Amino acid sequence: MAKPITLEKILFSQGFGTRRYCSDLVFAELVKVNGVLAEYPEEKISPESLVLSVDGKDWEFHEKAYIAFNKPSGYECSHKTSHHPSIYGLLPQPLVERGIQCVGRLDYDTTGLILMSDDGQFIHKMTTPKKNIGKIYQITSAEVITTKQIDHLLGGVVLDDDPAPCFAKACEKLDDRVLAMTIVEGRYHQVKRMMAAVGNHVAALHRTTIGQYVMPTDLAEGEWRWLYPDDITQLSKSIDS
């Protein structure tokens, strides 16, 4: 049973602003706790299965935030962007406020699955190259994909900034110009550069899977959802220990 915590601290931990601001939200009668209007910021409540409502919007309590996001094209994965809007602008402010970060970035024109969290250890575990986590990209290519190109990708290609070759762990040709490719590293523009190195060109790139976590089919572009302990367990199974 989780220890009761004051409502003010809970709101602060979820990214609703400074402790003072959170306290004012309660006094302004803008906070409900499991459907009941809260009166006192100092009231101690159990965070277990807690649903808050803040200014009319429901908010599940999560001690740490883990989310899956379906990135649309045309957004950069950084806070300080150079040419395009930031994906952080597509997320609710409390998630941004509590410091949620991408678990590996996608290019501005790549779409699909991004995991995000405010748990530094989780981000480190998921991104460290030693852990060999497979990521599946669906590539739509400019030219027809040949068996020779697939063999080359599987056999390893050398990119211009590193003499060590990088390999596709698996390739599945889904159509003449559509390839599902699994890679375990995360080098800069890796998929695009690998495809260029074998004489083809990426026309569109979409990430479908990270480790054993597959993008939910009902998660629309630009939408996000919480990950729950079962999802985290599934992701942990993807990690080489």
Using alpha carbons, select from 143, 139, 142 the residue that is nearest to residue 205.
Answer: 139
Residue 106 touches ligand URA, criterion: CB under 6 A: yes
Instruction: Please report the sign of the dihedral spanned by the C-alpha atoms of residue 205, residue 210, residue 211, residue 215.
Output: negative
| Binding residue (CB under 6 A) for ligand URA from 96, 97, 107, 204 | 107
Take residue 240 and report the two structure tokens written for it: 């080489």
Q: How far apart are CA 169 and CA 153, in angstroms?
A: 9
Is residue 25 a contact residue for ligand URA (CB under 6 A)?
no
Q: Is 161 known to be catalytic?
A: no
Q: Which stretch binds ligand URA (CB under 6 A): 50-58, 67-75, 151-159, 190-198?
A: 190-198
- Choice from 26, 205, 210, 235 touching ligand URA (CB under 6 A): 205
Among positions 146, 189, 196, 239, the unique one binding ligand URA when judged by CB under 6 A: 189
- Assess contact for 99 and 119: CB atoms under 8 A: no
Catalytic residue among 107, 161, 176, 230: 107
Q: Is 113 in the site for ligand URA (CB under 6 A)?
A: no
Spatial contact of 179 and 221, defined as CB atoms under 8 Å apart: no
Nearest-approach distance from CB 133 to ligand URA, in angstroms: 13
d(CA 53, CA 25): 11
The answer to the question of residue 204 lying near ligand URA (CB under 6 A) is: no
Q: Three-state DSSP class for 101?
A: strand
Task: Kindly determine how many residues on this chain lie close enough to bind ligand URA according to the rule CB under 6 A.
Answer: 8
- Asked whether 36 and 74 are in contact (CB, 8 A), the reply is no
Q: Rule CB under 6 A: choose which of 46, 190, 208, 238 binds ligand URA.
A: 190
Active site residues: 107
- State the residues that interact with ligand URA by CB under 6 A: 106-107, 110, 189-192, 205
